[in-house]
Amino acid sequence: MLFDYDSELARYHERLRQALDIRPGDRVLDIGCGTGQTTREAARAASPGAVLGIDVSGPMLARARHLAEREGLRNTGFVQADAQTHAFPPQEFSLAMSRFGTMFFSDPALGFANIGQALRPGARLVQLVWQAADLQDWHTAIRAALAPGPPASLPVPRADDAFALADPHVVAGTLTAAGFTAVDVVDVREPVYYGPDIERALAGVLRLRMAKEWLTDLDAPSAERALDRLRATLDAHDTGDGVWFDSRAWLVTARRR
């Protein structure tokens, strides 16, 4: 079963939608499209233009294609590939967008240069990326529950890490070197949603790669204690209207030269 990123990121989705300003006739590239919520919404706004969603996950793209077909969207396309190296048609798109899908490039400079060559001169890039790990309640609280112990210094984010684009100066420099101008980085703070109650939030968290990694090396009794701590953490974040964690992101916009 897939983790429900659309529900988790609902508040950020609204912020991204406001920033995109998609116009009829736009040709849009959706980077790291997942199950295609952003792709489908862009397709409706861009009609009679078109949207291409790209992602590395086959199961997510299968879901994205199914939902687009069910909604009768004929101006969407999906490709399973790495946007860092995929051979996009040159100057094909008038807008590129990403909702937390660009942080996992193994080589960000190469990735953004490849996206840049797919954009028309003057085309916009609009993306959301996570700020630093220690500013993410969903990361620090869940990590404390599943991997307790003396707090260690957080590692320097590596390429293909969720926090690889946490430094706004690095982001601006990388985009500028890749052929973008007018780079703007805006602080955005919204809560993220993990489920309507503790048990469903627990099931959701355990689908996440980070949770699986932190539990991997634990023996059975240690794992059970970790899950008990996680339940307590989720209970502490249950607002009565679902389980929510604080978070911070950057809304990054730029233009292709």
How many other CB atoms are there within 10 angstroms of residue 188's CB atom? 17
Q: Is pLDDT at 157 greater than 60 in this prediction?
A: no
Q: What is the pTM of this model?
A: 0.94
Note the helical H segments in 26-80: 37-46, 58-70
Segment 27-50 shows an average pLDDT of 98
Q: Is pLDDT at 136 greater than 50 in this prediction?
A: yes
Letter string b/e over residues 18-33, b meaning 16 or more CB atoms within 10 A of that residue's CB: ebbebeeebbbbbbbb
Residue scoring higher pLDDT (17 or 152)? 17
pLDDT of residue 126: 98
pLDDT of residue 154: 47
pLDDT of residue 159: 53
Letter string b/e over residues 205-244, b meaning 16 or more CB atoms within 10 A of that residue's CB: beebeebeebbeeeeeeeeeebbeebeebbeebbeeebbb
pLDDT of residue 161: 85
pLDDT-derived band of residue 8, with 50, 70 and 90 as boundaries?
Answer: very high
Lowest mean pLDDT among 138-147, 156-165, 229-238: 156-165
pLDDT-derived band of residue 152, with 50, 70 and 90 as boundaries?
Answer: very low
pLDDT-derived band of residue 217, with 50, 70 and 90 as boundaries?
Answer: confident
Q: What is the pLDDT of residues 53-111, one digit of tens each?
A: 999 999 999 999 999 999 999 999 999 999 999 999 999 999 999 999 999 999 999 99
SS3 149: coil
Distance, CA of 73 to CA of 248 (rounded, Å): 33
Q: Is pLDDT at 151 greater than 70 in this prediction?
A: no
pLDDT of residue 17: 96
Tell me the pLDDT of the chain averaged across its residues: 95
pLDDT of residue 150: 55
Segment 4-27 shows an average pLDDT of 97
Exposure of 72 by Cβ count < 10 A (0-12 exposed, 13-18 middle, 19+ buried)? exposed
Phi, psi of 91 (to 5 degrees): 50, 45
